[in-house]
Structures are given as C-alpha cells and as structure tokens.
Amino acid sequence: MRNLPTLTDQPFDLIVIGGGINGAATARDAALRGLRTILLEKNDFAGGTTSWSSRLIHGGLRYLEYFEFHLVRESLHEREVLLRNAPHLAKPLQMTIPIYRSGSRSFRIIQVGMVLYDVLSYDKSLPNHRMLSRQKTRQLFRAVDADGLAGAAQYYDGQAEHAERLCLENILDAQTAGATVLNYAKVEDIHLTNQRITGLTCRDGLTNDTFEVATHDQTVVVNTSGPWVDEVCGLSESPVSRGQKIGGTKGSHIIVDAFPGAPDSALYVEAKSDGRPFFIIPWLGQYLIGTTDERYDGALDNIKADAAEVDYLLAETNAVLPAGRLTREDVRFTYAGVRPLPYAEGKKAGSISRDHILHDHSKEGATNLISLIGGKLTTHRQVGEEFVNAAFRKRGEAVPACPTHTRPLPGAILLDDPRVAQWCDRYTPLLSSQTLDHLLGIYGARTLDLLALVDASPELAQPIGEGLLDIQAQIVFAVRHEMAHTFVDILRRRTTVCMHRNYGFDVLPVVAQVLREHCGWSEEMCDRNIRTYHQFMETNCIPDYALKQESPSLQTA
Ligand SMILES: Cc1cc2nc3c(=O)[nH]c(=O)nc-3n(C[C@H](O)[C@H](O)[C@H](O)COP(=O)(O)OP(=O)(O)OC[C@H]3O[C@@H](n4cnc5c(N)ncnc54)[C@H](O)[C@@H]3O)c2cc1C
C-alpha cells in the first residue's frame, strides 16, 4: 500500500504537511475538487493537538467577551454543518453554566451573552438557551454547590466524543477521492529554488527510509502542522518565514469515572480560585474535565498534565460538586496538548484569539507556501475550504465550488435510519444492543464493514477486555481499513480503549493475539509495540506522581 519511492514520479498539485483535523479537511476538500493531493503526517493521523482537545464542537461563548462575533458565527455555522454531515460523530450536548453571586459575570451579563449566542446561531437545529432560577437549578442539579448560587444558564453545543475519528473520516474520504494520505511520513527537508518549494525530503517512520515528494510549477504547499508550524518553516536552508508565528498555550484534561453528584449533562464552570472557565463533560460513560490554559514554549512532541494541573482540576470540580470528593486516586487518565494560537507577546493566555489565519509566505521567501496559524477543531471544514480556494487562486485558476458543505463523511448515518434497526436485528444474537449502539457511535454506517469481519470470523465479536464494549474485530478493522500501524494507533486513536481502563495495559495480550492471528504480526513486532505503548503512556498520559508511586496496576510491562 505504501509505495513511497514512486512518489517522485508523480508531482502533486497540493502538498499538505500535517495530518491533524485541519490538514485532513484540506486534503479532503482538495481531492474532492480534483487537485492531485498528498498529505504527509509524521506521526499518526490526529496524533497532535487534535487528539488532545476537549472534543467540543462549539461556538465559543467566551469569545463574545472579546467581540469576536465573526468567529462565533463561523463556529456556530460549522457546528450545524457537522451535526448534519457527521451525525454519528458530532452530537448535540446540553451545557449548563452555574452562576454564582461571587462570580465575575452576573446572571444578567450571562443572559445577554446567551441571547447573542442564539442570535448568532439563528439558523441552528438546536434549541435556544434558557435561564434557570436558583430554585430550578437546585432542583435539576442537586449536587451543585448551593452557596451563593444565583441560578444557571442552559444552552446547547456539540460534542465529538471521538475527535480522532472525525479526523480519520476526513482522511478516508480524501483517500476515496484520490488523495495519497500517509501517516508516519515526516517532512525533514524543504527544498527551495528561486523562492519556490520544489521538493520535500521525508522519512518513512515505519522503515526509517527517506523518500522524495515531487512538485511541478503550480504546486502549492500547505503547512497545517499545528503547534509545529514554525518548526516546519525552519526545515528549509533559506528562510521561508520571518519571526515566530505560533505562541502555544498548554491545556490539560483529566478523565474520571462517574462520581457522587456527577451531573447527567455538561457543566461549564468558572473556577473559584482564578475565575478561568473549565468544563465537566460526560464522555463515553466517564467524565472529561478540563482544561487548563498556560503559556507553553517547551518541547512539543510529548506533553503531559503535571501534578499542579491535575490538583487544580480536582479542586475546582470538588468546589462546584462537593459530594464528589475527587482525589488523585480517582484520575483514570490524563492528557495535555498545545493550542496552536497566533503568537501574541504579553497577552493573557485566555485572551489570545482562537481565530485562524492563512499566512501566505510569498513575501518571506516561499511563493507557494501557506501556513495555518490558529484554528479550532470546530472550524476545520471551513479551514479546508479556505486553503483550497487559496490554492486555486495561487495557481491562477477559477475556484470550483466547494463540495464539503453538503457532503456527508463516510460513516454518516442517523440512528433512526431504518438500516440501523436491520443491522441490529441481524447481529443481536451475537452482540448486545449496548455493544451495537457503541459501535454505531464510533463507526456509523461503516459499522456494517466492521461487522463483515465478524461474519467471516465470529470469534472477533469477543470484547477486547472484560467489561469493555469494544470488540476484537475493531483491532483488525483498524489495521486493514484504517491505516493503523501501532498499538497506540489502535488503542488511543482508532478506539478509546486506553482511556477506559488502566491505560489499556490489561488488554495488550489480547491485542497482540488478535494481530498475530488475523493480521500476520510477528511475536517480535507485538513485543516491540507493547514496549513502545508503555513508553507512550508513561511519557504522555500517566502523571509523574502516579509513576513514582509505582502503582501495581501499572506494572504490566
Ligand atoms: C487542551 C485543548 C483543548 C481544545 N479544545 C477544543 C475544543 O473543545 N473545540 C475546538 O474546536 N477546538 C479545541 N481545541 C483546539 C483544537 O484542538 C486545535 O486547534 C486543532 O486540533 C488543531 O488541529 P491542526 O490540524 O491544526 O493541528 P494538529 O492536530 O496539531 O496537527 C498537526 C499535525 O502536524 C504534524 N506534523 C508536525 N510536524 C510535521 C512534519 N515535519 N512532517 C509531517 N507532519 C508533521 C503533527 O504530528 C500533527 O499531527 C483545543 C486544543 C487544546 C490544546
């Protein structure tokens, strides 16, 4: 499948560097509009910021305070497009803001914000907001701290529980439309001739070989490498960029099991200690709590939540939901990422714009390079559209109509589609209805392709681990149909298994056995993967304090 040496024979119209959500959306749009496209991702698809986000498809209520009305409007429009084109992956999420008399925003101010949010989403399919009295709030959220409570605001946003798969489905659609999409393909060198990028040298992360990507006179190169944008710009011998473009901020999350007083729907809370907003979000039977927001200029490749961030999120959750009494022991998983925000000297992290800029490097040394500065998960389709429009303009060609407004993602299906009931009837004896619902929530219409593996090998209907709804067929499907190459790809990004129990360590023998039996992986390959899996969890997800405690549950290497 990865015939890399041949890439030099086929110059591309558009080269996308970075396979996060924005690169994926750009490659998809470009291929659909007929450009010969290649996407190069150094890690796995969605392996960067995209897999470390809060997974909200939101307008960004907070941006109203900075008068970024166009950004809110654009995001709310994109929220609607996603709910329509990917209903299996983007779902409505009810959000409640408890309002306290001691808070920095009064009941009335929040009400004004809510009205504006509704006005800016006038064409939405979701309900408008409602304001709740103190009494009503107490009735609906008994566990919320009542001290100084003035009431609440309730509204809707969207949630992509599997943000990684949203990215993957863009990649798969790009591939179907003819794009070459490569994970584990790192751009190491950018070649410039007469201020044009005329080729790239890349390294295949699976074989360690290098390969070349060829260009022609009209090739446009798009740099969607998120927080790595400046690093990628630095890969050419002559400068292609002037000054720092990205000024990232670090955001961390914790995942906990359901706890006493945990709400049925999401809470958007102002932290008591510093007034920062954070979310407590029901997520796949657990709770995703975050995020922090701190200036970050450290190494980008392996980032993890530190003890102070974990303690802050625990303390603030306990402050609003005191019955929870959450401690470090309750934390099942942590993750952190760097927001690729525009560099803004001296600004407070929370006040830096979340808007995106397409930065054309023509005047800086590369006439066919455009970089993305900023951008949200929510607005990826719009970013893709803008990049492809810009690419056509750069090529001096008329811009064809963008197809992604209305084109569903590959797994798009509504749960009330009659086909869903038929599939459920067909597979119910083998799989519980809970399992089928779980699979439909991950794969949507592609569930049928997944279950074809079960038809051929019924033993693949077994769960990956005790108490998990994920089944062994997902391991094979990830490798055969979704370009997964490692245990981390399978357990962290094609599925969410690692975030459900003991960092996924318990299920590693099962994964190895399935891969040996069904995908021809050798014993040595599986052992190597188990080691790198442990390394990944220790470097990115298990807090240092937990590693130091040498908890017996982590001793499974
Ligand atoms: C804590 C946190 C919470 C967030 N929550 C939300 C939210 O709830 N809703 C929302 O809309 N947005 C949210 N965001 C923002 C959103 O996640 C990001 O803006 C978005 O995912 C960025 O996507 P991207 O594709 O631009 O970058 P990335 O996902 O970082 O992708 C860039 C890719 O480029 C690759 N790359 C780097 N160098 C090279 C190279 N040399 N060769 C090849 N590939 C390379 C990287 O490996 C990476 O995969 C959040 C961000 C953070 C950090």
The pLDDT tens digits of the residues spanning 217-233 come to 999 999 999 999 999 99
Ligand 1 close to Cβ of residue 42 (< 6 A): yes
Residue 2 burial by Cβ neighbours in a 10 Å radius (0-12, 13-18, 19+):
middle
Q: Residue 556: pLDDT above 50?
A: no
Atom of ligand 1 nearest to the CA of 43: 47
Look-up: residue for tokens 């995209």?
50
Ligand 1 close to Cβ of residue 249 (< 6 A): no
Q: Round to whole Å and give the CA distance between 50 and 227.
A: 11
Identify the band that residue 314 occupies on the pLDDT scale cut at 50, 70 and 90.
very high
Ligand 1 close to Cβ of residue 337 (< 6 A): yes
Let me know whether 467 and 547 are in one domain.
Answer: yes
Q: What is the pLDDT of residues 372-395, one digit of tens each?
A: 999 999 999 999 999 999 999 999
Token output for 205: 């992360």
Average pLDDT estimate for 326-334: 96
* Maximum alpha-carbon separation in the chain: 70
CATH for 37: 3.50.50.60
The answer to the question of residue 402 being in a domain is no
Domain that holds residue 215: 4-49+164-246+353-394
Strands 210-223 and 12-17 come out as: parallel
Let me know whether 435 and 545 are in one domain.
Answer: yes
Let me know whether 274 and 310 are in one domain.
Answer: yes
* DSSP letter, residue 511: H
Other C-beta atoms lying within 10 Å of the C-beta of residue 150: 18
Ligand 1 close to Cβ of residue 391 (< 6 A): no
Q: Residue 551: pLDDT above 70?
A: no
Ligand 1 close to Cβ of residue 226 (< 6 A): yes
Q: How far is the CA of 20 from the centre of ligand 1 (A)?
A: 6
The answer to the question of residue 451 being in a domain is yes
The proportion of the chain whose per-residue pLDDT surpasses 70, expressed as a percent, equals 98
Let me know whether 169 and 195 are in one domain.
Answer: yes
Query: To the nearest whole number, what is the mean pLDDT of the chain?
Result: 94
CATH for 106: 3.30.9.10
Let me know whether 536 and 475 are in one domain.
Answer: yes
Q: Residue 5: pLDDT above 90?
A: no
Q: Residue 283: pLDDT above 80?
A: yes
- Name the residue with higher pLDDT: 142 or 61: 142
Q: Residue 205: pLDDT above 90?
A: yes
**Tally of structural domains, the chain:** 3
Let me know whether 230 and 361 are in one domain.
Answer: yes
The answer to the question of residue 337 being in a domain is no
Strands 277-283 and 196-204 come out as: unpaired
Let me know whether 226 and 168 are in one domain.
Answer: yes
The answer to the question of residue 466 being in a domain is yes
Let me know whether 19 and 64 are in one domain.
Answer: no
Cα of 76 vs its chain's centroid, Å: 18
Q: How far is the CA of 374 from the centre of ligand 1 (A)?
A: 9
Determine the straight-line distance between the first and last CA of the chain, rounded to whole angstroms.
32
| Nearest protein CA to atom 3 of ligand 1, as residue | 53
The answer to the question of residue 518 being in a domain is yes
Q: How far is the CA of 243 from the centre of ligand 1 (A)?
A: 21
Let me know whether 33 and 170 are in one domain.
Answer: yes
What is the structure's pLDDT at 1? 63
Testing ligand 1's pocket by substitution, the residue of 335, 377, 382, 386 carrying the most ligand atoms inside 8 A of its CB is 377
Testing ligand 1's pocket by substitution, the residue of 28, 29, 49, 268 carrying the most ligand atoms inside 8 A of its CB is 49
Identify the band that residue 557 occupies on the pLDDT scale cut at 50, 70 and 90.
very low
Q: How far is the CA of 381 from the centre of ligand 1 (A)?
A: 14
Q: Residue 122: pLDDT above 60?
A: yes
Within 8 A by CB and 6+ apart from 412, the residues are 85, 86, 87, 88, 444, 445
Testing ligand 1's pocket by substitution, the residue of 28, 89, 164, 228 carrying the most ligand atoms inside 8 A of its CB is 228
Ligand 1 close to Cβ of residue 266 (< 6 A): no
Let me know whether 263 and 147 are in one domain.
Answer: yes
Positive or negative, the CA dihedral 511, 513, 514, 519 is positive
Atom of ligand 1 nearest to the CA of 24: 25
The overall pTM is greater than 0.75: yes
Testing ligand 1's pocket by substitution, the residue of 15, 53, 164, 204 carrying the most ligand atoms inside 8 A of its CB is 53
Token output for 542: 């298990």
Cα distances from 242 to residues 162, 178, 225, 239, 371, in angstroms, run 36, 34, 17, 7, 12
The answer to the question of residue 487 being in a domain is yes
Q: Round to whole Å and give the CA distance between 447 and 450.
A: 5
DSSP string, 114-171: HHHHHHHTTT-SSPPPEEEEHHHHHHH-TTS--TTEEEEEEEEEEE-TTHHHHHHHHH
Let me know whether 151 and 296 are in one domain.
Answer: yes
The answer to the question of residue 38 being in a domain is yes
What is the structure's pLDDT at 87? 95
Let me know whether 295 and 371 are in one domain.
Answer: no
The answer to the question of residue 339 being in a domain is no
Q: What is the pLDDT of residues 463-479, one digit of tens each?
A: 999 999 999 999 999 99
C-beta of residue 485 within 8 angstroms of C-beta of residue 492: no
Ligand 1 close to Cβ of residue 224 (< 6 A): yes
Helix axes 433-443, 418-427, angle to 10 degrees: 130
